[in-house]
Amino acid sequence: MSEGAHLTWDQVFEDAETAQAVKQRAGSANEENIDKLARVLGEANGDA
């Protein structure tokens, strides 16, 4: 058994235009949020 967590993040939009608009506004913010979450979880697990 492996340790850790697996996170799947799906975003579903009504159409491609809406998806593109969100992508332009969000930029790399989603990836930054996931990185922050990984750090927090690591610290809570004593990996800091």
User: What pLDDT does 48 receive?
Assistant: 57
User: What pLDDT does 34 receive?
Assistant: 87
pLDDT tens track for 4-37: 777 788 889 999 999 999 988 887 888 898 899 8
**How far is 24 from 27, CA to CA, in rounded Å?**
5
Domain residue ranges in the chain: 17-48
CB 7 within 8 A of CB 33: no
3-class secondary structure, 7: coil
Q: Is the pTM of this model over 0.75?
A: no
Q: Whose CA is closest to 40, among 3, 11, 5?
A: 5
CB 9 within 8 A of CB 30: yes
